[in-house]
């Protein structure tokens, strides 16, 4: 799977927003916010083909989490990405 390439991650203060800038207009009435680790993951995954294992590896390599925790976090994150339509179809 892949993240939608038309979406842009913006950091405003301490908040990370995913905005959907279509050609001439930007919808800021419905924005997705990510916490800092999800935003970091977004940057790592951008433009790449990935799956749940990729996320688990990234989490384990960069955060002090055990594999089980990383797997459950990755599953929740992917579920959210999918539900919010942030993945390419």
Alpha-carbon span 75 to 79, nearest angstrom = 6
Site for other proteins in 30-89 (CB under 8 A): 30-35, 37-38, 73, 76-77, 80-81, 84, 86
- Residue 26 or 67 having the CB closest to other proteins: 26
- Smallest gap from Cβ 49 to other proteins, in A, equals 20
Tokens (6 digits) for 57 = 């590896």
Alpha-carbon span 21 to 24, nearest angstrom = 8
Q: Which residues bind other proteins (CB under 8 A)?
A: 10, 12-13, 15, 17-18, 21, 24-35, 37-38, 73, 76-77, 80-81, 84, 86
């Amino acid at each position: 799977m892949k993240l939608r390439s038309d979406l842009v991650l913006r950091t405003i203060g301490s908040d990370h927003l995913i905005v959907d800038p279509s050609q001439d207009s930007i919808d800021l009435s419905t924005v997705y916010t990510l916490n800092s680790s999800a935003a970091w993951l977004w940057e790592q995954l951008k433009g790449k083909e990935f799956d749940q294992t990729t996320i688990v590896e990234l989490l384990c390599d960069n955060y002090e989490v055990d594999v089980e925790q990383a797997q459950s976090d990755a599953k929740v994150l992917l579920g959210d990405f999918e539900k919010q339509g942030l993945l390419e179809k």
